[in-house]
Amino acid sequence: MFNSAPIDTSDKPRLYAELAEQARGLLGGERNMIANAANFAALVWHALPALNWCGFYLYDGRELVVGPFQGRPACVRIPLGKGVCGTAAVTRQTQVVPDVNAFDGHIACDSASRSEIVVPLFAGESLFGVWDVDSPELARFDEADRAGMERLCAVFMEALAPAHEEAA
Ligand code: SME
């Protein structure tokens, strides 16, 4: 059984470093993508304060389709280039949105969302999907969250296809 130890949420670099360690322990050794994605979303949901949604949108070869998540039911399909998620996928850049109402084309799945961060996920050069986190607080995410979320996502992608095996 996995039990996460309490983490000091005021020190973001330390919080994300500890969370990355926990993610490595939780996901390492398991290759089932759905299992790992579900546990990853649950880990982040319970560790980070002030979230109202966190989860995956997975690329099906045409568009982004909602995957394992925590929070209220969400929009199912997001075309590439649309919303914060589709923008992250096309630009290949993490999107940190301090005020979702000021983001042109933001897709409102939950009217409680005020700020959002979306990390694009790539397996080599191929789009895998995006990791999307919403908050009911304005400007909930900053550069420390960007660095931390990217680090966490690297742990998730590495668990799916460990680099040492890719190279073999
Ligand atoms: N706000 C996202 C849509 C997904 S929900 O936040 C879960 C967007 O604009 O792409």
Locate the domains of the chain by residue range. 12-167
What pLDDT is recorded for position 22?
98
What pLDDT is recorded for position 9?
73
Ligand 1 proximity of 59 Cβ (cutoff 6 Å): no
CA 162 to chain centre: 19
Q: Six-digit token pair at 93?
A: 């850049």
Ligand 1 proximity of 63 Cβ (cutoff 6 Å): no
What pLDDT is recorded for position 85?
98
Q: Which amino acid is at 135?
A: S
CA Rg, the chain, in Å? 15
Q: Does domain 12-167 have CATH number 3.10.129.10?
A: no
The ligand 1 atom nearest the CA atom of 85:
10
| pTM for this model (two decimals) | 0.93
- H helical segments located in 11-70: 12-27, 33-47
How far, CA to CA in Å, does 137 sit from each of 3, 98, 119, 134? 27, 9, 19, 9
CA 152 to chain centre: 8
Helix axes 143-160, 12-27, angle to 10 degrees: 10
Decide: 135 and 114 in contact? Cβ < 8 Å. yes
DSSP state of 135: E
Residue numbers of the chain with a pLDDT score lower than 50:
none
Q: Which residues pair with 9 in a beta bridge?
A: none
Ligand 1 proximity of 134 Cβ (cutoff 6 Å): yes
